[in-house]
Chains A and B, each alone.
Chain A
Amino acid sequence: QVQLVQSGGEVKRPGASVKVSCKASGYTFTTYGITWVRQAPGQGLEWMGWISPYNGDTKYAQNLQGRVTLTTDTSTSTAYAELRGLTSDDTAVYFCARERPCGGDECLLPLYWYYYGFDVWGQGTTVTVSS
């Protein structure tokens, strides 16, 4: 079955970096995008960014630009989210989800009119930032 399996929880010091992985199975990895969403304790959902495993194209949330890097390894069907310069505000559960194979305004092209995303989610990875 289609699934995304994420890496285990992490505890980091302020200023450190964290890299979370998301391994896909049950579908062709390069035919869909991967998006990352985080959820601070007791809070709502915040979209972080999107990556195309097909060509490496990325889109990032403006408030994380410069601190987050999304990458993929097509040989292992794994996506990664790396966040640098951690602060306590980055304490959250980080989710990956399968997304459309397009990002931003590209998704408004007729080629992508019948795609939808966020249909498969990883189980979440808790990242705790504490001194």
Chain B
Amino acid sequence: AQSVTQLGSHVSVSEGALVLLRCNYSSSVPPYLFWYVQYPNQGLQLLLKYTTGATLVKGINGFEAEFKKSETSFHLTKPSAHMSDAAEYFCAVKTGTASKLTFGTGTRLQVTL
């Protein structure tokens, strides 16, 4: 069965600092990996996705993630945090033709002045 683990339910960074949100996956077959963001009182929105090909994936709002098979990781980064980045971030995995997206438990990002 596929799963993702997000390390840290809460992360706090200063505005302008590096954002690093951690995600490790478990899958017996090559996974498709995703990061979604949920702003307060809104639904989830796709930030970026990895399917095949280039392992460094760029998404919206300056975020990127790198697929590292040897580490079974797909960490999300952003060089410089902005106040508007405060939200909950979810890592998700899907394998093959399965319809189900399996989400992690989420990481709440707080950005302070």
A-B complex is real: no
